[in-house]
Amino acid sequence: MHPLIPTIFYDSSPTTLGIYTILCGLFLYSASKMFGFGRNQFVVQGRTVVITGGSEGMGKAVACQLAEKGANVVLVARTESKLQDAVETVKGAAAEAERQRFHYICADLTNAAECDRVMAEVTEWNHGQSPDIVWCCAGYCSPGFFAETPVQTLRDQMDTVYWTAANTAHAILRRWLVPITPSQQMPLPPRHLIFTCSTLAFVPIAGYAPYSPAKAAIRSLSDTLSQEIEMYNGSRADKCRSEAPATDVKIHTVFPMGILSPGFDNEQKLKPDLTKKLEAADKPQTPIEVANIAIKALERGEYMITTMFVGDVMKGSALGGSQRNSFIKDTFTGWLSNLLFLHVSPDLRRQAWSWGEKHGVPGRRRE
């Protein structure tokens, strides 16, 4: 027996050795996915990227980093002055500014017709070609307790968080998924639709009642689209089919925690003190950090992307039927998370009860 080979490999049956081989294969596959040893699955050089909410915060940071990688960038937001400043910043970050192209569009994405207009304008600007990547970053958080928040604020949050993303997704997918004949088809890399969600979609926290349901809706939409899109991708597998979409489409969702931005500063002014206490484990990241982590995960081909360990644990507690990034990592994180949340979930309710006992009912916002 060779001294460097464990005894178990000599004594095991073929079935046992087969199981060890499969487990080793799964481990190596998961390691390659986790640490990015595979090919880049999110190539942006020379491709056109639309970023909604791109005038500040995470959206602007994403735009700068994709410009550094050679992308042509279109920013979409409501305020023209912010867009003008942001485009200049993005140009300054470009890998080859003389070859890359940059554009901005003012639009209210809560209006579905405006989203259709944006995609039509981008397509015209892009020499008649639809954008290759659309990243939804629009939206802001208006925290508060549900019963103390005006109904109009609840509706506004659903509009600015969920409907901006849903309208944008609908507008671009209606273009991407149009069937074309084989004679029109050219070899193209996959297109990408990316949603920006929040870990609150996994673990709601008291004080985010206007915001969390809208983020949970985005997560549900993303999970649904990750299945539906495979029908269109599958239609391209039959080479004899008369018509099919031009290329595959990939769906992704990013789940950051707190992000240090102008929007975050305003959020802190409105946030109940109880909420600040409950989310003490959330150490806000800079927009640059979040964008960098998210882009690296996209390059690894991940579907559900978190940006820090606490977010990983929150995701693990609520994976449900969502697509996994890594069979081994997500399984073990799920086990760990469910054990931890045997304590965390009751503790959140206990802290809320104790807060009410000490401070009484909260003040109510004016209608």
Residue 17 has pLDDT above 70, yes or no: no
Residue 15 has pLDDT above 70, yes or no: no
Report which of 315, 318, 311 is spatially closest to residue 293, judged by C-alpha positions: 311
Report which of 224, 220, 290, 217 is spatially closest to residue 258, judged by C-alpha positions: 290
Question: Could you tell me whether strands 304-306 and 249-255 are parallel, antiparallel, or unpaired per DSSP bridges?
Answer: parallel
Q: Where are the alpha helices (DSSP H) in 148-211?
A: 151-157, 164-176
Structure tokens at 105: 């569009």
Q: Taking all residues of the chain, what is their mean pLDDT, rounded to a whole number?
A: 89
Residue 187 has pLDDT above 90, yes or no: no
Which one from 162, 208, 211, 250 is the annotated catalytic residue?
211
Residue type for 68, please? Answer: E
| Measured distance between the N- and C-terminal CA atoms of the chain, rounded to whole angstroms | 81
Q: What is the DSSP string of 232-266?
A: HHHHTS-TT-S-B-SS-EEEEEEE---B-SHHHHH
- The confidence score (pLDDT) of residue 365 equals 54
Q: Assign 12 a pLDDT band (cuts: 50, 70, 90).
A: low
Q: At the topology level of CATH, where does 38-309 sit?
A: Rossmann fold (3.40.50)
Residue 27 has pLDDT above 60, yes or no: no
CB-based contact 263:288 (threshold 8 Å): no
List the 48-52 sheet strands across, edge first: 102-106, 72-77, 48-52, 133-136, 191-196, 249-255, 304-306
Catalytic residue list contains 208: no
CB-based contact 114:105 (threshold 8 Å): no
Structure tokens at 317: 């507690």
Residue 30 has pLDDT above 60, yes or no: no
Catalytic residue list contains 211: yes
What integer is the mean pLDDT of 187-198?
95
In the chain, domain spans:
38-309
Q: Assign 57 a pLDDT band (cuts: 50, 70, 90).
A: very high
Q: Assign 16 a pLDDT band (cuts: 50, 70, 90).
A: low
Which one from 215, 250, 271, 315 is the annotated catalytic residue?
215
pTM of the model: 0.87
Residue type for 165, please? Answer: A
The helix (run of H) or strand (run of E) holding residue 65 is helix 57-68
- The confidence score (pLDDT) of residue 14 equals 53
- The confidence score (pLDDT) of residue 326 equals 85
346, exposed or middle or buried, with CB in 10 Å at 0-12, 13-18, 19+? exposed
* Backbone CA torsion sign across 264, 57, 112, 212: negative
Report which of 284, 280, 283, 285 is spatially closest to residue 347, judged by C-alpha positions: 280
What integer is the mean pLDDT of 65-87?
98
